[in-house]
Amino acid sequence: MSPEPRNATDTDLKSPTEDTKPGTGTGAGAGSRHRSPELTKVSANFQRRAVVAMEVASEVTGDSRTDVLNRAVQFYAYLVKKAEEGMLFFVEDPETGARERVVFF
> Within 13 A of 60's CA, how many CA atoms are on the CB side?
7
Kindly report the pTM of this predicted structure. 0.62
Res 39: pLDDT: 86
Could you give phi then psi for residue 66, rounded to 5 degrees? Answer: -60, -45
For the chain, the first-to-last Cα distance in angstroms comes to 34
For the chain, which residues make up each domain, given as ranges? 48-102
CA distance 51 to 104: 19
Q: pLDDT tens across 7-30, in order? A: 455 555 565 555 443 433 333 444
To the nearest 10 degrees (0 to 180), the angle between helices 65-84 and 48-61 is 110
